Structure 1
């Protein structure tokens, strides 16, 4: 199962790289903060998205870092597809779905243990043009992670993205 997860992530990355090299159009990068309802902690994230030419789709992902407790560190990654429902210069509305991967590491003294969990996410978001970039807000539900006692969680995120190519 672990090999399948890594193969899927690698395939998505290679697809993204090959698509970008064909026609570099509408690549945006940014950062922001997020909050998980079940984990009850904030994370800081960076993200990058690529608008597919002549399709109402955007692909990309984000990586977030949080340290909810002194001895616990979490790195959260998402590979997402955005279905652009409204995509204008002033505002964009989109639905999203994707794969979530969570890496958690617990360290106590010289002893540390880590685990990787995967899940699926679905939700939606909006972007508003603020001149220097586009402010965004997203809400998504993550389900399917094999963390004990995890029935899923709602994650809210906000930040700014800027276009690095047209």
Structure 2
């Protein structure tokens, strides 16, 4: 009978192994995880809701965009509102929902946090690369059924007073 060998001492990972793990983790975060963004439902003092006409789809949709590194969601909402509509944030309203279906945005898998805001100011296109037009709609005149991405659902959930996790 052969004597059993003593257990082999475990080694700590080499610098190369740690670097490889780090790079794989970062690439996984960048390319295999959804990005976070927001859709904004801007309500003007007269109760109308502001939509943008998107340059990429030529359809109306909610303003919004991706959260930049180092930003809070509230900062993103304020920045995107100003960039895409020219309006100023007066105050945040309610959380309408969180939408995370992998196919909700044809560009990338994103998690979209939809927030109602109360806004004021002069509507104007500031980001002509993304936005063709900005317009306020009464609730009855909203082009529901013809909006870009999944904004029909987001706006319908808002109008029905729902808070959605989808």
Classify the TM-score, shorter chain.
under 0.3
TM-score scaled to structure 2, two decimals?
Answer: 0.24
TM-score scaled to structure 1, two decimals?
Answer: 0.24
Bigger Rg over Cα: 2
The structure whose residues are more often helix, as a share, is 2
Query: Which of the pair has the greater relative contact order for Cα pairs under 8 Å at 6+ separation?
Result: 2
